[in-house]
Structure 1
Amino acid sequence: MRPLYVYDKSLLKYRFNDQHPFNQMRVKMTTDLLTDAGFLKDEDIIKPRPATDEELLLVHKPDYIEAVKQAGNGGLSDSQLESYGLNTDDTPTFDDMHEKSSMLVGATLAAVDEVMKGNAKKVLSLAGGLHHGFTGRASGFCIYNDSAVAIEYMRKHYGMKVLYIDTDAHHGDGVQWAFYNTNEVMTYSIHETGRYLFPGTGSTTERGDDDGFGFSINLPVDAFTEDDSFLSIFEQSIEKAIIQFKPDIILSQNGVDAHYRDPMTHLSLTSKSYEEIPRIVNRLSDKYTEGRWIAVGGGGYNIWQVVPRMWAQIWLAMLGEQPPAGRLPEPFIDKYRPRCKVEFPVEWQDDLSDFEDIPRRSDITEKNDNMLQRILMYLEQI
């Protein structure tokens, strides 16, 4: 059964301002890359829909949804905006904010419905992945939390046990806290340690409360962690988590801001990791969840040199394609290179001429491995 891809130009309207690092143009660039390379066909693409208020209320508080609606029309005072995390440097208000934000949530829900109705086993919705949104507050470029809404939607309407996998450089805090007290959702986040990076959470001791104790898994890796250490930790721990939890479906958040060229984090991954991560998830979904896998986007702030090539690998993994090598399609290069103000990549894999050797590589790897061993022991006890 061929996977499906959620896309429409309406998803590009979630835009704070021209100076803001969160730029959904990366979704269009990825779509163009896949289309120009011949991997994405018109018949693969489905349209998103806006999420209803009832669907948003599965996770978000009524007063917060109303505040977002009013903020998008200039209807809140500065103090009211501040109380909801709106109009900050991270999440400035913009016109029709509720409508444009609910479309991103609806795109992820459209992906869910396709899988639940049996129209596809795997669906990709790159516009989503807004994992910092809280039930009653905006945070970290995120107004509504599409992943949390989608997970609760699957629980309520389809009785699914959901494994949430987050490989963004930033901890998936909003999703974690939404399900911190339930054993029907497992949240798994591998991310840069919060000692150096927003949101400052995601320590190994955040394990869940009440019925949810043991169902929150965090693997904070040290700054400058590179491919081999990251992939070793991920592959060893994620299958163990799946075996212990026995999910019905996987929802993965695929931020690519752990790449060494991303301007907002301190990790050192290359295209090698972003070729392997989705293929690991694809293999595990086939093995443990009857192929059911929904993938969303997330972080990624170098839209020219990093995001399109790295995100394209998620779709290629769903198709069962091996990572392509060599030159990118000429139509894609011709379309975007003239607009790029930095050196534009022309091959699928990274040119590592600017990759700097990792300081304290052996120390970082040893520290990460010690953390992994603690988590593996912890998973044995669930």
Structure 2
Amino acid sequence: MSVQRDCAFLYDERELTYRFHDDHPFNQQRIRLTVDLLQEAGALHPNEYVGSASATREELLLNHTAEYIEVVEMLSIDPGNPALSDTADRYGLGEGDTPCFEGMHEATSLVVGATLKAAELVMSGQVRHALHLGGGLHHAFPNRGGGFCVYNDAAVAIAAIRRRYGARVLYVDTDVHHGDGVQFSFFGDPNVCTLSIHETGKFLFPGTGFAHERGDGAAFGTAVNIPLEPYTEDDSWMACFETSINRVIQSFKPDVIVSQHGCDAHAYDPLAHMNCSMNIYREMPRLIHRLAHEYCEGRWIALGGGGYDIWRVVPRAWGLLWLEMSGHPLASRIDSDAGLALPPTWIRKWQPLSAEPLPPCWLDRPGDIEVMPRRAAIEEANRRSLEIALQYL
């Protein structure tokens, strides 16, 4: 099928019902903030929006067990039932980081359905690129939830791509937390390569993502992990990311890229220990975009993910992702003017709701991010980790 347009933006306000409770750090208001920022910037138009439908049980079964789906459905109806607390705990949906909530199955099925729609639009040739910011729930496993994730939309979509199109899939995860659920879902599949760059699991959830996790059997070498030291800054993060993704894509030669764009490696994020600025969220999508065209005929499916400073970081990072994917001229303006201002209408609208002053510019300004005194030692440790991660490629 010939390409009808270049890029699709998957958005359904019903996905905002995927929320745990008022004090939970996973706050889907960040999607609304991002959409509004892009609209105020004149960078998101009605013909770019695409709706979707909920994932079916058959589709969820591509990555999740029937037993787990049934438990999610049951907990969705009566999440406060004390008789179900042991069951909830057993499946990762208890009082920890991923507590069950009413309508959980329906909300998460919408998330999965939108990611499946994004994948189908790209694989069928209707668009070259598709973005679903509500997706990227990369910590869910086939038989349990965790890490704020109930169903794993990325893994379901990758399984659907494999089944319907037989395509080789490169999954790129830039969330500061290791993409464990996706990696281990395809740990034995030589036709799915997972590349995750993240803060080392020595200090951060989920405690995995070490360089020795490389895949099983015929899939050895198709799991690639770049665990970085706490307080890593832009230059070291980007050097490791650029080297690794170039090496991986040259070796693996995928047909399509599925990328997860958690933006929690920023210095402002409260749930990690990195010291990066907005610059990496301009540079990583640019690199992925170029490689998608060089190796995959442009086929690129991008998802959201983590990001817990919903006011100062997430809207700008995800806004920059869409500007790059859609080829909007505002991206070039930001490149030529690092101090380009955010739309003042957006700042005036949302500042009264934010406890922190909203940033005035798309990119961070000099002095916004503290310089790390141990920079040289951190960079050297990251360089050694990169060498170990890539030694078999």
| Shorter-chain TM-score above 0.5 | yes
1:111 partnered with 2:118: yes
CA distance in 1, matches of 2:173, 2:332: 22
Unpaired runs of 5+ in structure 1? none
Query: Given that residues 130 and 142 in structure 1 are in contact (C-alpha distance below 8 angstroms), is that contact kept between their aligned partners in structure 2?
Result: yes
Which residue of 372, 375, 378 corresponds with 2:392? 378
User: Aligned equivalents of 2:173 and 2:112: distance in 1?
Assistant: 17
Q: Could you tell which deviates more after superposition, 323-332 or 99-108?
A: 323-332
Give a deviation string over 1:247-300, Cα, whole Å, max 9, x none. 000000000000000000001110111110100000100111000000000000
Shift of 1:118: 1.3
Deviation, 1:323, is 5.9
Question: Which amino acid is the alignment partner of residue 51 of structure 2?
Answer: K
In the TM superposition, residue 88 of structure 1 has moved relative to its aligned partner by 2.5
SS at match of 2:275: coil
Partner of 1:6: 10
Asked if residue 201 in structure 1 is aligned to residue 205 in structure 2, the reply is no
Q: 1:239 is matched by which residue type in structure 2?
A: N
Q: Does 1:245 align with 2:252?
A: yes
What is the CA-CA distance between 1:319 and the residue it aligns to? 2.1
How far residue 352 of structure 1 moved from its aligned partner, in angstroms, is 4.6
Map of 1:35 onto structure 2: 39
Aligned to 2:72: 68
Residue 52 (structure 1) shift: 0.5
* Aligned-partner residue type, residue 322 of structure 1: S
Matched, 1:296 2:303: yes
Q: Distance in 1 between matches of 2:306 and 2:211?
A: 22
RMSD of aligned Cα (Å): 1.1
Partner of 2:191: 184
Letter in 1 for 2:218: D
| CA displacement 1:108-144 (0-9 Å, x = unmatched) | 0110111122110000000000000000001100000
Find the residue that maps to 2:311 and give its secondary structure.
Answer: coil
- Whole-angstrom distance in 2 between the partners of 1:6 and 1:29: 15
Describe the SS at the equivalent of 2:149.
coil
SS in 2 for 1:121: strand
- CA drift of 1:241 comes to 0.3
- Do residues 121 (structure 1) and 128 (structure 2) align? yes
Residue pairs, 1:69-88, within 5 angstroms: 69-74=73-78, 77-88=84-95
Q: Supply the distance in 1 between the matched residues of 2:6 and 2:62 (Cα, whole angstroms).
A: 30
Dislocated runs of 4+, deviation >4 Å: none
For 2:223 and 2:260, locate their aligned partners in 1 and report how far apart those are by CA, in whole Å: 15
Amino acid at match of 1:132: H
1:149 is matched with 156
Mapped contact 2:142–2:185 kept (Cα < 8 A): yes
Q: 1:246 to 1:278 in 2, by over 3 A?
A: same
Q: Read off the aligned partner of 2:217 and give its amino acid letter.
A: D
Moved more, 319-328 or 69-78: 319-328
- 2:363 corresponds in structure 1 to 349
What displacement does 1:62 show?
A: 0.2
Q: Secondary structure at the match of 2:367?
A: helix
- Aligned partner of 2:58 in structure 1 is 54
d(CA) in 1 for partners of 2:294 and 2:333?
A: 21
Q: CA offset at residue 377 of structure 1?
A: 2.5
CA–CA distance in structure 1, aligned partners of residues 384 and 376 of structure 2: 12
Query: How many Å apart are 1:355 and its aligned residue?
Result: 2.0
Amino acid at match of 1:356: E
Measure the CA separation in 2 of the matches of 1:170 and 1:318.
23
Match of 2:342 among 313, 318, 328: 328
Q: How far 1:344 moved relative to its partner?
A: 1.3
Q: Is the 8 A contact 1:270 1:350 kept in 2?
A: yes
Mapped to 2, the partners of 1:197 and 1:373 lie a distance apart of: 21
How many pairs does the alignment contain? 379
Task: Give the drift of 1:25.
Answer: 0.9
**Cα deviation 1:42-73 (Å, max 9, x = unaligned):** 00000121100000000000010000000011
Residue 44 of structure 1 pairs with residue 48 of structure 2? yes
Determine the C-alpha separation between the residues in 2 that align with 1:15 and 1:375: 36
Paired-residue identity, %: 48
CA distance in structure 1 between the aligned counterparts of 2:384 and 2:343, rounded to whole angstroms: 43
**Which digits, 9 at most, give the CA deviation of each residue in 1:160-217, with x for residues without a partner?**
1100000100000000000001101000001000011000000000001112111100
CA distance in 2, matches of 1:233, 1:268: 15
Query: What's the secondary structure of 2:207's corresponding residue?
Result: coil
Deviation of 1:343 after TM superposition, in Å, equals 1.3
Local SS of the residue matching 2:94:
coil
Checking the alignment, whether the CA contact within 8 Å between 1:166 and 1:254 is kept in structure 2 is: yes
Asked if 2 retains the 8 angstrom alpha-carbon contact of 1:104 and 1:128, the reply is yes
Mapped to 1, the partners of 2:186 and 2:390 lie a distance apart of 21
Q: Distance in 2 between matches of 1:48 and 1:118?
A: 17
1:57/1:46 Cα in 2 relative to 1: closer, same or farther (>3 Å)? same
Residue aligning to 1:100: 107
> Does the aligned pair in 1 maintain the 2:224–2:390 contact within 8 Å?
no
Alpha-carbon separation, structure 2, partners of 1:373 and 1:91: 35
In structure 1, the residue corresponding to 2:332 is in which secondary structure? coil
Q: CA separation of 1:323/1:141 partners in 2, compared to 1, >3 Å: closer, same or farther?
A: farther
Structure 1 counterpart of 2:22: 18
Which stretch has the larger CA shift, 341-350 or 34-43?
Answer: 341-350
Amino acid at match of 2:275: S
What TM-score, normalized to structure 2? 0.94
Gaps of 5+ in 2: none
Counterpart selection for 2:375 from 342, 355, 361: 361
Q: Tell me, yes or no, if the aligned pair for 1:316 and 1:323 is still in contact at 8 Å.
A: no
Segment drifting more, 52-61 vs 334-343: 334-343
Distance 1:353 1:230 in 2: 19
